[in-house]
Amino acid sequence: MPLLRTVRDAVGDWIDRVGLEAPARLALAAFGMVILLFTGLLSLPAATQSGQRAPFVDALFTATSAVCVTGLVTVDTGSYWSGFGQGVILIAIKVGGLGIMTLASLLGLAVSRRIGLTQRILAAGEARATGLGDVKHLLRTIVIVSTVTELSIAFVLFWRLLAHHEHLPTAIWHAIFYGISAFNNAGFTPDPNGIVPFAGDPWFRMPIALGVFVGGLGFPVFLNLIRAWRRPAEWSLHTKLTIVMVMLLSVISAGLLALFEWNNPNTLGQYHQSTRFWQTLFISVNQRSGGFSAIDHGQMHEHTWLLEDVLMFIGGGSGGTAGGIRVTTVAVLILAIWAEARGRRDIEAYGKRIGTEVLRLAVAVTIISLAFVIIGAGVVLAQTTGTVLPYRPDTVGLRLDEVLFEVVSAYATCGLSTGITGHLPADAKLTLTILMFVGRLGSVTIAAALALNRQRRVIRYPSERPLIG
């Protein structure tokens, strides 16, 4: 096929040229094009249960939420979208979870049995590989770990769904959907009731929680653990910081959630003691990125919303399916504060020194992300000035705590909601769509751009220390 080879070579040359000149721009364009593709598919009449075309805003919002593995929805996934529409959403989740650049590298490897330098750089940036030599192993790990985990979750859930009297074809479809959605931290559910009816079934809830946990660790951690899972001393600093922070945040979130909501009759308080325990464990895992709603978050206390805002903003591990600014970013900031408090010159952890360029990058990602959240919350507040919620007809406009929760959930690609998403005006939905897109790629490309933008200067100005605090 000479023509096919010519087209393939031309596309490859274009990717190499653009990738070397502006890899961040290529990543943004690729994600944008994929979102538009899935938006078009969801706009088809066959994608809805009614056979009518979905409004463009809802199709765009859903496609962006799926590709960015967020989970926020303006319409119910199980009752609004047809089997075809749900299939499109599931494929979008899988594509978004793997990452467009990673998927492109896999296809290139399958066709040519090799990966070019630019493709290695792009894949390393997408999946946070520690070096170009790790990319092939990393891509293999991505495929193996994601597929095995998703199928394992689906296998366990299949039997639980049969036990809950679902028909065989429905049980198979729902099990596969939940398996992919869980590992990719997407939070989409294929049926209108979601996972709420399974509150007292830990054999259904815990596999989903495990998938969310594993998917949120990050692929570089998988690669490191597979190579040296019996030798913790050989784990990289990134792996150690990720595991410690994830475990610590899970314990803190579970403890505070139980403290805040244990006796709330509208949330945990409505269940038996043992069910409350399993609910608390499940929610504590999902609070940072999973997005599966085990209870009505709109009925939680406001201080619980604040807790979840912080956890969603932190997110999960780098190079995985989780969102947020990532746990290693927070770990570096905490270690910097600890070093400053003890009067130490260097930032140290596990016998390693963390360079100042890493600290500057962590500060930049955190401040820029905070700016997006603050600006986004202000814009959505302005756009919802006259909004009236059907379950609160006596109040005009939305409160700051509700809007902030929704904005953080969108930017951190978590997917939890207080229930206002579907009632937002079209312009506010578009704002959240932008935040999901920026949250999935913005901090990644910003970090990559800052990391690659290293200038050598011959002249250095004399130092002077301004007053801080």
Q: What is the pLDDT of residues 235-288, one digit of tens each?
A: 889 999 999 999 999 999 999 999 999 999 999 999 888 889 999 999 998 888
Which residue type does 218 have? G
Question: Is it the case that residue 137 has pLDDT exceeding 80?
Answer: no
Q: Which is higher by pLDDT, 54 or 19? A: 54
What is the structure's pLDDT at 111?
Answer: 46
Looking at residue 459, the DSSP 8-state letter turns out to be -
Q: How many CA atoms lie within 13 A of 66 on its CB side?
A: 32
State the pTM of this model. Answer: 0.87
Per residue, what are the HEC states of 235-274? CCHHHHHHHHHHHHHHHHHHHHHHHHHCCCCCCHHHCCHH
Which token pair is 175?
């099990």
Q: How does pLDDT run across 278-323, given as a tens digit for each residue?
A: 999 999 988 888 889 888 898 999 999 999 999 999 998 887 788 8
Average pLDDT over residues 398-427: 92
What is the structure's pLDDT at 361?
Answer: 84
CA 62/CA 144 separation, integer angstroms: 28
Per residue, what are the HEC states of 402-426? HHHHHHHHHHCCCCCCCCCHHHCCH
- Rounded to 5 degrees, φ, ψ at 217 are -70, -40
Q: Which is higher by pLDDT, 134 or 169? A: 169
CB distance 169 to 157 below 8 Å:
no
DSSP string, 278-317: HHHHHHHHIIIII---SS-GGGS-HHHHHHHHHHHHH-S-
Average pLDDT over residues 10-37: 65
CB distance 422 to 432 below 8 Å:
no
pLDDT-derived band at 20, boundaries 50, 70, 90:
very low
- Rounded to 5 degrees, φ, ψ at 353 are -105, 130
CA nearest to 47, candidates 14, 3, 92: 92
What is the structure's pLDDT at 118?
Answer: 54
